[in-house]
Amino acid sequence: MKSFIEEFKKFISRGNVLDMAVGIIIGGAFTKIVNSLVADIIMPPLGIILGNIDFSNWFIVLKKGAADAGPYVSIEAAKAAGANTLNVGFFINSIITFTIVAFAIFALLKVINKLKEEPKQEAPAPATTKECPFCYSVININAVKCPNCTSDLKNK
């Protein structure tokens, strides 16, 4: 049992587990912000532009409730009456929320990858000199005779 606890301590204290925990906590807070952005900022003006549609209350009754035949003024009223509804507005809100979260993650990863990216190294310039095999002095790569020791370099 003691080795199990030690192993668990070792696992929990590893950096990637702690990073994951922080990511989950921040992700939860970020989701709340995005949900509020969609429901409270984006959807009301979009509903006005599209003809005063309240997306949070946009639904289609699939089967009327046994307690009340409708019409229902809200999803809550339809559910209370036992009606089955297709909640189109919630689905559209979810799509917009997903799109915003996906874009934010894409932008974040793009920035992180750019920061991780190693600077590109330029290809080395072609050699312009070589070493004389006789006197080991540095000479022009096109030389056929060493200017220092006058050795013939044609065959070398």
Q: Could you give the 3-state DSSP secondary structure of residue 81?
A: coil
Confidence bin at 87 (pLDDT 50/70/90): very high
Q: Which pLDDT score, from 0 to 100, does residue 156 have? A: 53
Q: Are 85 and 60 in contact (CB under 8 A)?
A: yes
Asked whether 146 and 132 are in contact (CB, 8 A), the reply is yes
Average pLDDT, the chain: 84
State both tokens at 53.
């549609």
- Give the model confidence (pLDDT) of 142-152 as tens digits: 888 899 998 88
pLDDT at 15: 66
Other CB atoms closer than 10 Å to residue 59's CB: what's the count? Answer: 19
Coil, strand or helix at 129: strand
Quick: pLDDT tens for 5-35.
Answer: 888 877 777 767 777 888 888 888 888 888 8
